[in-house]
Amino acid sequence: METGPDLPTSPLVTVGEWDSFDEADEHALVVLAMDRECWIEPGDGTFLVLATPEDAPAIRREFALYAEEQAERRERVEPPLFPAGVELMLLWIIALTAAFMVQERYPAFTEDFCNSSRALVEKGEWWRPFTALFLHADGGHLLSNIGIGGIFCVMVAHTVGAWRAWLLILASGTLGNALNAWLRYPSDFASLGASTATFGALGILTGAAVSAAWRFRSPKEFRPLVAPIFAGAMMLGMYGVGGEGIDVSGHFAGWACGAVLGVLGARKLRPEVGDEREKAAFARS
């Protein structure tokens, strides 16, 4: 049995051997994607993929990378959604509640630690974009951020891991606040609330999906994140872009910073195999 182009006159070498024709044909498609030629021949109860000696080293390397990628896909077991990062989310809720209690008792606390364009740019009070994430205008503001924000923060923890998720969420919220304050300067702008971090979490989910689809060259990698991204888009339309006192620019700044951090964070999920696979992917593109 022989498939593919006519056999060349020069001798061929075996670059792979599989138990079924389908497996051999699957790897032959990998070779064709490299813009190289190969041939399939039956062996002793197996099927061989043959190639010229000049192409053999590159094809074997590509097969090794392809095997690693397929093994990773098979090994990725989706953990339960809500156990991921719940403990850290509870700590986040406790911190927000404690900060709100301090605000209620000491009104000056809010003015001293909210996000402020002039305080950040003119006075160099760099901590304000971070501390503003823990402050809220009233009880309803606090409860809405705990309820809606908690859901998306758990989704991020489920996607990239609990510790990495919360570092990225806090970073996206802080950077979003800083960017928003800098863009508003020199006007006397102030803001507070965890919603910047909530939209940062939505951005992280988006960035992680983009990164996965790019790394694996497959739009199918978007599918696990379709639901949270769709829900986040609905939340953005319902609560993030209108209404009195809504900081629209802060929401978009948090989302944008989260998207960038999501791409960077997702790229480091499996560096031991990801780096080589990504190098090969870029070489093929």
Q: How far apart are CA 196 and CA 177, in angstroms?
A: 7
> Comparing 168 with 86, which gets the higher pLDDT?
168
Summarised one tens digit per residue, pLDDT across range 105-123 is: 998 999 999 999 999 999 9
Ramachandran assignment for 195, one of left (phi > 0), alpha (psi -120 to 50 degrees), beta (any other): alpha
Domain chopping of the chain, boundaries: 13-75, 86-273
Residue 44 has pLDDT above 70, yes or no: yes
Sign of the alpha-carbon torsion through 23, 28, 272, 201 = negative
Summarised one tens digit per residue, pLDDT across range 213-236 is: 776 665 565 565 566 566 666 666
Which class is 86-273 in CATH?
Answer: mainly alpha
**Of all helices (H) and strands (E), which one includes residue 197?**
helix 195-215
How far from 31 is each of 41, 70, 96, CA to CA, in Å? 15, 16, 55
What is residue 100's predicted lDDT score, i.e. its pLDDT?
A: 95
> Which phi and psi angles does 69 have, rounded to 5°?
-65, -45
**Of all helices (H) and strands (E), which one includes residue 190?**
strand 190-191
What is residue 269's predicted lDDT score, i.e. its pLDDT?
A: 54
CATH of domain 13-75: 3.30.70.1070
